[in-house]
Amino acid sequence: MSTATTDPTIDLSRPGVPFGREVRVEIRKMIDTRGGVWLFAITALFILLAMGLTLLVLGLNEDATITASGFGEIMALPVSILLPVFAILIVTSEWSQRTHLTTFTLQPHRGRVILAKFVAVTTLAIGTIVAAAVFGALGNALYGVITPHDPVWNLPVADLAWIVAQQLLFFWMAFALAMLLLNTPAAIAVFYVASMILPFMVYPILMAMFQWARDLLPWLNMDYAVMMVRTEATFLGDPIEVGVVDYLRLAFTVTLWIVLPGLLGALRIRRTEVK
């Protein structure tokens, strides 16, 4: 076959895909499947449920009071339970559904794809916290209406910043584990066991019983490390003076659960053969 004709078929001066467009497409891909719609619907239900239950308890119990800050905390719970699954699926579903074939032919630079997904996950995390804050404010206002107490509008910026930061760390951890494992069930299992089941059901028992657990576990659990810096207290409520060690502990857990799996995962995605 002759190679004489070199048609200018390929236009190298054409603009590439703008990053903002990639991020918007990734956000769309999180919610345009049946699974995505269900996940959002259930989360919305959880939010309403949490708000309703809180108001019910407050309405029935004259002595109970709440502040905007407390409402914010409560509303952050339902959005942090299920939604990290989005941060996992945005990565792993590309592998399980094999859509990565399409994704990486539309954008062959895999680092860019990872970055776009990261920004999409971050956007979702912040967006859901804003939604939680709106519902929290709504709940707080209703609280003023249905109970004899006046609503307390005291959500300090620091508190809000911590809630957002924790939500981000949660989502990023899910995202990093998903990149490392590239497998939906495995990533979901590891994420929930490490971030919810152990710290809520296993660690408290160990920490109540053993000194080594009180020493060691905060170094293995991001949530504990955050809480110690944030509340200036240990898990058992003893006040502490927050110092270098506490920030180091926080940095260590972030490295352990986000930076390390994230970097290894990104490397894996860039190297792996897509087929």
Partner 1 sequence: MIEVQNLSKSYGDFTAVDDVSFACRPGRVTGFLGPNGAGKSTAMRMIAGLTRPSKGTATIDGVEYTAIPNPATQVGVLLDASAQHGGRTGREVLTIGARMMGLPASRVDEMLALVGLTDKEAKRRVRNYSLGMRQRLGIAHALLGDPKVLILDEPANGLDPAGIHWMRRLLREYANRGGTVMLSSHLLHEIQIIADDLIVIGNGRIVASGTKEELLRVAGTRVRARDMAALESALTAAGLTFEVAGDAVTSTASPEEVGQAAADAGVALVELRESDSAGLEEMFLQLTSSNQRDVITTEGVPA
**Nearest distance from residue 134's CB to partner 1, in Å?**
28
Is 274 near partner 1 (CB under 8 A)? yes
**Nearest distance from residue 256's CB to partner 1, in Å?**
31
In the complex with partner 1, which residue's Cβ is closer, 46 or 104?
104
- Which of 65, 67, 73, 107 binds partner 1 (CB under 8 A)? It is 107
Residue 112's nearest CA partner among 208, 27, 17 is 17
Cα–Cα distances (Å) from 206 to 198, 215, 256, 257, in that order, read: 10, 11, 21, 21
**Nearest distance from residue 60's CB to partner 1, in Å?**
42
**Nearest distance from residue 106's CB to partner 1, in Å?**
5
**Nearest distance from residue 96's CB to partner 1, in Å?**
9
The tokens of 101 are what?
């074939």
Interface of this chain with partner 1, residues 3 to 42, rule: CB under 8 A? 3, 5-18, 21-22, 24-25, 28-29, 32-36
- Which of 56, 59, 109, 215 binds partner 1 (CB under 8 A)? It is 109
**What residue ranges bind partner 1 (CB under 8 A)?**
1, 3, 5-18, 21-22, 24-25, 28-29, 32-36, 93, 97-99, 101-102, 104-109, 273-275
